[in-house]
């Protein structure tokens, strides 16, 4: 169930980017049983890591703090609608609920005209469209090789887990 105090904290974290070099204004918290178990701000520039989004950082923090990669029963509050990378991370971690403040349209409108040196502009519509396509249909060149031995390792690993 939505709690405005947790959204206020996610937005407060995003505001740290106004004074913390190397961060960008995307903050998030992961909540379990009424308490914050993970926090994150976008540190992509600081960490030289394009996956260091506020949501992924909050998920990483929560997983470490809880000692598990299974975040079922948690809610993620974020200052901006998550990108496909972050949605995938939430699904992999099994986050149960998502609450966001600004949406992709608002983010795209504000960030779309920043100079290239600011790591933007990112064409939000193109990003969303690309992520829904099968790999061979994406604009990013891709090709598949050595599928059989890789699939065999996956099958062997799955058999061990079973």
> Buried b vs exposed e over 103-112: b needs ≥16 C-beta within 10 Å?
ebeebbeebe
Residue by residue, DSSP assigns 79-139 as EEPPPHHHHHHHHHHT--EEEEEE-HHHHHHHHTTS-GGGT----HHHHHHHHTS-GGGSS
Give the torsion through C-alpha atoms of 102, 108, 113, 114, to 10 deg. Answer: 60
Given 24, 39, 55, 57, the catalytic residue: 55
Mark whether 12 is an active-site residue: no
- Angle of CA points 122, 127, 133, to nearest 5°: 165
Question: How many C-beta neighbours within 10 Å does residue 141 have?
Answer: 7
Q: Are 111 and 92 in contact (CB under 8 A)?
A: no
Distance of CA 60 to the CA centre of its chain: 10
Could you give the residue numbers annotated as active site?
55
């Amino acid at each position: 169930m939505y709690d405005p105090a947790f959204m206020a904290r996610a937005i407060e974290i995003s505001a740290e980017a106004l004074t913390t070099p190397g961060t960008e204004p995307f903050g998030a918290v992961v909540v379990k049983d009424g308490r914050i178990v993970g926090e994150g701000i976008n540190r992509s520039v600081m960490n030289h890591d394009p996956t260091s989004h506020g949501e992924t950082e909050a998920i990483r923090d929560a997983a470490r703090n809880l000692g598990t990669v299974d975040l079922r029963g948690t809610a993620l509050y974020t200052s901006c609608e998550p990108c496909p990378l972050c949605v995938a991370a939430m699904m992999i971690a099994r986050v149960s609920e998502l609450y966001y403040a600004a949406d992709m349209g608002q983010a795209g409108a504000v960030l779309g005209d920043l100079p290239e040196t600011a790591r933007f502009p990112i064409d939000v519509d193109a990003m969303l469209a690309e992520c829904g396509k099968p790999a061979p249909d994406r604009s990013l060149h891709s090709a598949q090789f050595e599928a059989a031995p890789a699939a065999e390792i996956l099958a062997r690993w799955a058999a061990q887990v079973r």
